[in-house]
Amino acid sequence: MLRALLARLRQGHRTIAFPDGAPALPDRFRGLPEVDPSRCPLECRACAEACPTNAISTGAGRVAVDLGRCLFCTECVDACPGDAIHHTSEYRMATRSREALLLEGGPLDRARALEERALRLFGRSLKLRQVSAGGCNACEADVNVLNTVVFDLGRFGVQFVASPRHADGLLVTGAISRNMELALRKTWEAVPPPKIVIAVGACAISGGPYVDHPEVLNGASAVVPVDLFVPGCPPHPLTILDGILRLLGRIGSGERTLPPPR
C-alpha cells in the first residue's frame, strides 16, 4: 500500500488543463486542412483525384475541402505537385451545421452554443447515450478516452449512460449501416425530449470511406436531426471535447472559458 501511495505522489496531477490552457499536441497531429490557392497549378486536379472520399473539389481557381468527408489521410498532400495543401495543428473543428464543414478559403464557422432554453437544461449536466451504428471502433475508442483521468469528461458535468431513457441525447459514431437504422431510430425515440444529437467522425457525418455504399445511409442526419458535427477519422479526443464544450456554452467566441450557466 505504501509503495502504491508513493507511486501516486510521484505521478502528480494527470488531468490536462484544457480548456484553461493550450493543449500539447504531437508534431504528427493532423488538424484542419489549409489550402493556398496561389500554389495550385492551373487546371490541376491531382488532390481531388487522389482523395478516396471525393472530399475535395476544384475549379475556377478554387479548391474546396469537405471536412465532413475528409479522412485526414494525407493522400491529397502527397499528390499535390505545388505543395498547396497541408494539415495544420488546429484541432477546433466541430460545427453546428453540415454546410459549415465545407471549406472554400474562408474561416471555419466553429460550433456555437445551444439555444437559451436548451442551454439552461443541459449546460450544467449532460447525459449522453453512445450509439455505434456501424463503426470500426476508432471513433468509439477516442470517445471512451474522454472518460479517463487525462480528459476527465465528468468534471464538465458530461457523462455517458447505459439507457437512452436516462439520457439527454445521443452521441453517434459509425457510417449508419442499414442494419442499424432501426436501432438508431428507436434509441432516438426513447430519449425524452428535448434532446440533442452529436455526430462524431467522418462516417457519422457523411459515410466516411463507405460513402454512397448501398448498405450505409451516409451519416446520422439521414435518420435523426444532428446538433453538432465533429469531423475526423477518428477525431482527436480534444476535437470532440472542444465541440461539446462549445455546444454547452463553456467556450465562448473569444475562446475564453466560461463558467457553467446558473
Please compute the mean of the pLDDT values over residues 118-137 and round it to a whole number. 95
Class of domain 1-25+92-262: alpha beta
pLDDT digits (tens, 9 = 90+) for 94-123: 999 999 999 987 899 999 999 999 999 999
CATH numeric code, 33-91: 3.30.70.20
Percent of the chain clearing pLDDT 70 (strictly above): 94
pLDDT of residue 253: 53
Is the confidence at residue 12, as pLDDT, over 80? no
More confident residue, 88 or 14: 88
Is the confidence at residue 170, as pLDDT, over 60? yes
The alpha carbons of the chain give a radius of gyration, in whole angstroms, of 19
**Does 33-91 match 1-25+92-262 at the fold level?**
no
Cα distance between residue 73 and residue 87, in whole Å: 10
pLDDT band of residue 2 (cuts 50, 70, 90) is confident
pTM exceeds 0.75: yes
Is the confidence at residue 200, as pLDDT, over 50? yes
In this structure, what C-alpha cell is assigned to residue 253?
467566441
CA atoms within 13 A on the CB side of 254: 3
Residue boundaries of the structural domains of the chain = 1-25+92-262, 33-91
Mean pLDDT of the chain: 91
The three-state DSSP-derived secondary structure of 43-59 is CCCHHHHHCCCCCEEEE
Exposed e or buried b per residue across 55-88, where buried means at least 16 C-beta atoms within 10 angstroms of its C-beta: bbbbeeeebebbbbbbbbbebbbebbeeebbebe
pLDDT of residue 165: 97
pLDDT digits (tens, 9 = 90+) for 138-154: 999 999 999 999 999 99
More confident residue, 58 or 242: 242
Question: In this structure, are residues 226 and 198 in contact, taking their beta carbons and an 8 Å threshold?
Answer: yes
Question: In this structure, are residues 205 and 233 in contact, taking their beta carbons and an 8 Å threshold?
Answer: no
